[in-house]
Amino acid sequence: KSIPGRQQVGLSSLRRPSTLDPHHTRAVLARALDVWEQASRLTFTEVNSDEADIVVSFAKRYHDDSYPFDGRGSILAHAFFPGSGRGGDAHFDDDELWLLQPNNDDEEGTSLLAVAAHEFGHSLGLSHSSVKGALMYPWYQGIQSNFVLPEDDRNGIQQMYG
């Protein structure tokens, strides 16, 4: 399944986000992957198959793994470290108010770009970072439109896929 250097991403059509525009959602997910592509030798291709290395889905509460979501807020998403089966997959809590545009601070809602970039870090094998400001810092911090991958995250991905 996972051929080093060729990460495949499937946007699972099984559980597509109920409210988000699928075309726009894919564009945001592609940008979240691009964050990592630009800092490593990784390349990503979209495939429509659950055999993909990273299968993305949106789900609420219990969703056939033992990590149920919790409604709006708190847990926003989770992803599995690389591996067979659901390894690499990323699940997003469909009870969140996902924003597909970089949001100005006062607007409530959660940037899908920021969270997806964070989750794909897990999908690629990165754990949480204690460096405040790192993308892999455990707590959501929003994202600027001209987002550049912080140093700590770049080091992390270079160590694995330099």
Element (H, E) at 47: none
Give the number of other CB atoms < 10 A from CB of residue 135.
25
Closest to Zn ion by CB, 5 vs 62, is 62
Where in 56-85 is the site for ligand 0DY (CB under 6 A)? 74-79
Buried b (16+ CB within 10 A) or exposed e, 49-87: eeebbbbbbbbeeeeeeeeebeeeeeebbebbebeeeeb
Check residue 119 for interaction with ligand 0DY (CB under 6 A): yes
Where in 45-74 is the site for Zn ion (CB under 5 A)? 65, 67
98 phi/psi in degrees, rounded to 5:
-75, 130
* Positive or negative torsion for Cα 148, 153, 157, 159: positive
Query: Which partner in ligand 0DY, Zn ion, none is near 91 (CB below 5 to 8 A by kind)?
Result: Zn ion
Check residue 91 for interaction with Zn ion (CB under 5 A): yes
Q: How far apart are CB 122 and ligand 0DY at their closest, in Å?
A: 5
H-type helices in 52-91, by residue range?
none
Where in 120-139 is the site for ligand 0DY (CB under 6 A)? 122, 135, 137-139
Q: Give yes or no: 119 in active site.
A: yes
Closest to ligand 0DY by CB, 118 vs 154, is 118
Q: What residue ranges bind ligand 0DY (CB under 6 A)?
A: 74-79, 114-115, 118-119, 122, 135, 137-141
